[in-house]
Structure 1
Amino acid sequence: MVDQQMARRSFTAKQMNNAEHVLVLLDNGWSVLWAVLSYPDLPQKDLIEIHNTNFARNIAQTTFSKFCNDFERVGLLEKTENGRNVYFSPTDKLLKIFMKIKFDANANSNKQKPV
């Protein structure tokens, strides 16, 4: 099972950006990868945390929802936990786990830019 405390720390760190959607890639060792790529041209101000920059460039060309749907369609992602937006990969070919979380835009008043 994924280390929920590590994932929660990552999301807390990203809340400063008031992101509505966050996509996090955890590697096979369940360690959170901290390099955040932000694409202002994507809807919902998506933040994508991923270590493979070539892969990140590819998904930057699409939307967050389409990205999740495409991978779900080809069997690389499946939605779990009673309809919550948590995506687990049933294979180790590409991805291990994705989490999609919606934050209240007014929940955090500290608007800081990522370094």
Structure 2
Amino acid sequence: MAAEHDQPHIPDPADSVNPELASAVDAEDLDEDRLQLDPLEEGMDPPEGWSAADRTGVTAREQREGETLDERLAEEEPDFGDTPEAGAVAEDERQPDGTDDRRTTTSGGQSADEAGGSVAAAQRTPGFDEET
């Protein structure tokens, strides 16, 4: 078995690449005289007049001092536009019977210690008898 791994790999001619498929794009196909737009130069153009130097923090002094609060606030944009503040349910948002869908009670329903809820009381209290 060790002799099999010591021999160099000799490629099989049947595994060779078809010369017609060797190059998907031929150099002649990319001749700029024949192209209207060079496919290798596609991309996004920066906006007109764009410059990274129109911001604060470009110079070493600006980086040390940082922006003022007014400058930072002026750059902020709202996350969502104008949205109404949360508040009471409007008349058209109520249920057909006129009730509010939001919970207003403090009781959360059935307690875990009530009958049919769980066996938590029996597990927490040694000697607890559910029959009594």
Higher alpha-carbon Rg: 2
TM range (shorter): under 0.3
Q: Which has the higher contact order (CA 8 A, sep 6+)?
A: 1
More strand per residue: 1
What TM-score do you get using the length of structure 2 for normalisation?
Answer: 0.17
